[in-house]
């Protein structure tokens, strides 16, 4: 099966009314390729009791004839109507002319005779026999929504809209997949940034710990420097005290040396006196005894001086030892001072190194802190992008849900329209319903008209849904019967005229035959009955 005639014709919306008026029920004819397929389909319908249908085999159609040229008064429908089967278009509409007004159709019909069918865009048809049809059904007064071609166009447009919605859904799904991939990539980037942030945070904490360790080392070095400073102060104090003690010892030693010199002078004086005494010994023998006492005193004094000298020697040795100890202590203090100076230099060097290390660590810490702030800002930016992507994802999911809902509503609406068209108008497939769709119609006006018609239908009560078809069939039957009546009346008139002529001739011939028969009857009667007379009367 190729499809119905309405499926195979591509009719512009402005010509739908005219084409439907011309073709009528032929729009519902089922077109097949071969005659055997039509026979098989009819057998199936009869066997299954599935109703009736008119089937048109394409192989039996004549090739399309050449169309006359269009003129300002007429345009041939076969040029205005498209379709996948030109032979079908030529067969159905090859001799159908489009005119702007019924007056032009009548003028062309009277001029050309019965060679074509003329139709206006409003649906007024002038058949070759002179039959006129026109007007609009109640369901078509406000539009062509109930027409077969209009419904099929609506179905096609719904299919196109459904394809567009499916493409939108596929695009939304692709965008959703791209956003999910972008979200996954951003999530991986967030994880890597988080890992990097944790590593930087660990490095920062390690650097902070190193800085704290350096600060503790600096504090320890400072305390050590303070201790060394205190020890240096104490050493300086000890050095000053030792220097003072040395000065005191030097002063004591100087005093001892002065005493020793004084004693030496006294010993020299005593030696000189002893020499003078010895010289005067001989002369002073007498004074020896006297002087012995004095000598004993002097000896005692000498002994005392010797003891003093010994004591001074001991003091000198003690002072020497103390001086040696002071020298050693001074040497030790000098060595300790050198060590402390070296330690101070090392400490200063360590402090400078610690300060440089601290400055370097502080610089690294500042760099790490700056990187940390950059990472934080990047993370905030990434989180903002993630939130924006999540918001976009939410919007796209919502839009996808709306598109799916619209697709479901469109599919349900399409099924309802198809079922309604199938129930009311016998449309057997969605393509036929799509062909009846008109995208240029005013939906608000259609809805208002639909509500108005619904109210009228409800007010009317139960309505015969096939009344339009029955009315159209009865109207066509009435037109046919009227045409036959006119033919019969004309035939009767011709017959009456012929009968009148025939009656006179027949009466004359009948009278002549009757007279001959009556004469022969009289002769035969006379011969049979030997006389007499007989006749026939009417």
Over range 259-265, report the average pLDDT. 69
Give the Cα separation of 140 and 436 in Å (integer): 13
Q: How confident is the model at residue 81 (pLDDT cuts 50, 70, 90)?
A: confident
Least confident range from 21-35, 61-75, 433-447, 469-483: namely 433-447
Specify the pLDDT at position 313. Answer: 60
Token pair in block for residue 239:
């050095």
Q: How confident is the model at residue 147 (pLDDT cuts 50, 70, 90)?
A: low
Specify the pLDDT at position 1. Answer: 61
Q: How confident is the model at residue 144 (pLDDT cuts 50, 70, 90)?
A: very low
118 — alpha (psi -120 to 50), left (phi > 0) or beta?
beta
Over range 138-146, report the average pLDDT. 47
Least confident range from 134-143, 243-252, 354-363, 488-497: namely 134-143
**Is pLDDT of 467 > 70?**
no
Rg (CA), the chain: 73
N-to-C CA span, the chain: 71
Q: What angle do CA 61, 62, 65 make, to 5 degrees?
A: 135
Q: How confident is the model at residue 234 (pLDDT cuts 50, 70, 90)?
A: confident
Beta bridge partners of 55: 30
Give the Cα separation of 149 and 490 in Å (integer): 39
> Is the pTM above the cut of 0.85?
no
Specify the pLDDT at position 470. Answer: 75
Least confident range from 121-130, 268-277, 327-336: namely 268-277
Q: What angle do CA 78, 81, 82 make, to 5 degrees?
A: 110
Token pair in block for residue 97:
């002319």
Element (H, E) at 98: strand 96-99
Cβ neighbours of residue 420 under 8 Å, at least 6 residues apart? none
In the predicted model, what is the mean pLDDT of the chain? Answer: 73
Specify the pLDDT at position 80. Answer: 77
Higher pLDDT, 323 or 494: 494
């Amino acid at each position: 099966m190729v499809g119905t005639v309405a499926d195979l014709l591509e009719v512009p919306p402005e010509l739908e009314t005219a084409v439907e008026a011309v073709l009528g029920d032929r729009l519902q004819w089922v077109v097949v390729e071969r005659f055997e397929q039509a026979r098989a389909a009819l057998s199936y319908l009869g066997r299954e009791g599935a109703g009736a249908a008119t089937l048109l085999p394409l192989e039996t159609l004549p090739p399309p004839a050449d169309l006359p040229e269009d003129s300002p008064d007429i345009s041939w429908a076969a040029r205005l109507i498209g379709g996948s089967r030109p032979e079908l278009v030529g067969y159905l509409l090859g001799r159908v002319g489009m005119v702007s007004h019924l007056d032009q159709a009548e003028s062309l019909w009277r001029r050309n005779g019965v060679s074509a069918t003329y139709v206006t865009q409003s649906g007024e048809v002038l058949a070759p026999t002179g039959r006129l049809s026109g007007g609009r059904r109640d369901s078509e007064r406000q539009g062509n929504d109930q027409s077969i071609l209009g419904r099929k166009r609506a179905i096609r447009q719904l299919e196109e809209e459904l394809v567009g919605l499916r493409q939108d859904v596929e695009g939304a799904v692709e965008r959703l997949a791209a956003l999910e991939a972008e979200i996954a990539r951003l999530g991986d980037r967030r994880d890597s940034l988080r890992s990097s942030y944790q590593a930087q945070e660990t490095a920062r904490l390690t650097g902070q710990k190193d800085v704290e360790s350096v600060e503790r080392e600096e504090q320890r070095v400072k305390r050590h420097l303070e201790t060394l400073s205190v020890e240096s102060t104490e050493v300086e104090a000890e050095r000053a005290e030792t220097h003072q003690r040395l000065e005191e010892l030097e002063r004591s030693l100087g005093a001892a040396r002065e005493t020793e010199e004084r004693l030496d002078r006294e010993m020299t004086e005593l030696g000189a006196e002893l020499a003078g005494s010895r010289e005067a010994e001989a002369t002073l023998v007498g004074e020896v005894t006297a002087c012995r006492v004095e000598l004993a005193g002097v000896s005692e004094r000498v002994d005392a001086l010797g003891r003093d000298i010994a004591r001074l020697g001991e003091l000198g040795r003690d002072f020497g030892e103390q001086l040696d100890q002071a020298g050693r202590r001074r040497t030790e203090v000098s060595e300790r001072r050198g060590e402390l100076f070296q330690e101070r230099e090392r400490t200063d060097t360590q402090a400078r190194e610690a300060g440089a290390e601290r400055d370097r660590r502080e610089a690294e810490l500042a760099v790490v802190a700056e990187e940390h702030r950059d990472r934080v800002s990047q993370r905030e930016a990434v989180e903002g992008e993630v939130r924006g992507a999540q918001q976009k994802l939410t919007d796209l999911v919502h839009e996808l849900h709306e598109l799916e809902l619209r697709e479901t509503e469109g599919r349900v609406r399409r099924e309802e329209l198809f079922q309604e068209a199938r129930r009311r108008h016998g449309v057997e497939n969605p393509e036929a319903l799509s062909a009846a769709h008109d995208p240029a119609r005013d939906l608000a006006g259609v809805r208002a008209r639909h509500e108005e018609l619904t109210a009228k239908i409800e007010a009317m009560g139960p309505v015969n849904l096939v009344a339009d078809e029955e009315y159209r069939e009865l109207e066509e039957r009435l037109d046919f019967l009227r045409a036959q009546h006119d033919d019969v009346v004309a035939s009767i008139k011709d017959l009456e005229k012929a009968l009148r002529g025939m009656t006179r001739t027949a009466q004359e011939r009948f009278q002549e035959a009757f007279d001959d028969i009556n004469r022969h009857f009289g002769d035969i009667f006379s011969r049979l009955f030997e006389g007499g007379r007989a006749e026939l009367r009417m």
